[in-house]
C-alpha cells in the first residue's frame, strides 16, 4: 500500500488508465503473450493487483518496442509508414485506446498480438497522404 501512495503523477495517470479499462485477472501465462487477449489482460491490470507493476511495465515496454521498431523500418529505402503517431500522444493515452479498441473487437482476442496492434494503429492513427517516406 505504501508503494501505491508514493507512485507520483505518472503512476496516478497509469492507475486511472487501469481503472478506465475493465478488470481482467492477470495470470502468469499472460506474460507469454500467446495472443491479443494476453496483452489486453496485462494492460488492463488494476493498481491493487499484486502483478500490477510487472504487468503495466510489460505493457508499456511492448508498446514502446513496437513503435520504435516501426520507426526503425521507416528509415528504410522503400518503407511506407503504416501509421503516424501524433507528437502529443502519450504512452498511457495510446495504451488506453488500444485496450478500448481490443475490448470493442473481441473477435481479435485469439489473434497474434502484433496483427491486432498493427490494425489498431493503422485505424486509429492513419498517416496523412503526404506522410509517406518511400524513396524511389
- Which tens digit of pLDDT belongs to each residue from 76-97? 989 999 999 999 999 999 999 9
15 vs 76: CA distance, rounded Å: 37
State mean pLDDT over 34-49.
96
pLDDT band at 6 (very low <50, low <70, confident <90, very high): very low
The upper half-sphere exposure of residue 44, i.e. CA atoms within 13 Å in the direction of its Cβ, equals 21
Give the CA count within 13 Å in the CB-facing half-sphere of 70. 17
Share of the chain above pLDDT 70, in %: 77
For 12-39, write each residue's pLDDT tens digit.
333 334 433 445 579 999 999 999 999 9
Q: In this predicted structure, what is the pLDDT of residue 14?
A: 37
Torsional sign, CA 13, 113, 128, 136: positive
**102: nearest Cα among 77, 85, 119:** 119
Contacts 24+ apart (CB under 8 A), 26-30: 26/51, 26/55, 30/55
CA distance 42 to 40: 5
- Cell 505493457 belongs to which residue? 59
Amino acid at each position: 500500500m505504501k508503494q501505491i501512495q508514493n507512485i507520483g503523477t505518472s503512476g496516478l495517470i497509469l492507475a486511472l488508465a487501469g481503472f478506465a479499462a475493465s478488470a481482467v485477472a492477470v495470470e502468469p501465462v499472460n506474460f507469454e503473450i500467446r495472443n491479443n487477449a494476453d496483452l489486453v489482460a496485462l494492460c488492463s491490470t488494476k493498481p491493487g493487483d499484486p502483478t500490477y507493476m510487472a504487468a503495466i511495465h510489460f505493457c508499456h515496454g511492448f508498446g514502446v518496442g513496437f513503435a520504435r521498431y516501426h520507426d526503425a523500418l521507416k528509415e528504410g529505402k522503400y518503407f511506407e509508414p503504416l501509421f503516424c503517431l501524433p507528437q502529443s500522444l502519450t504512452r498511457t493515452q495510446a495504451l488506453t485506446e488500444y485496450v478500448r479498441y481490443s475490448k470493442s473487437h473481441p473477435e481479435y482476442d485469439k489473434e497474434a498480438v502484433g496483427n491486432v496492434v498493427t490494425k489498431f494503429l493503422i485505424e486509429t492513427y492513419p498517416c496523412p497522404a503526404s506522410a509517406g517516406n518511400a524513396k524511389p
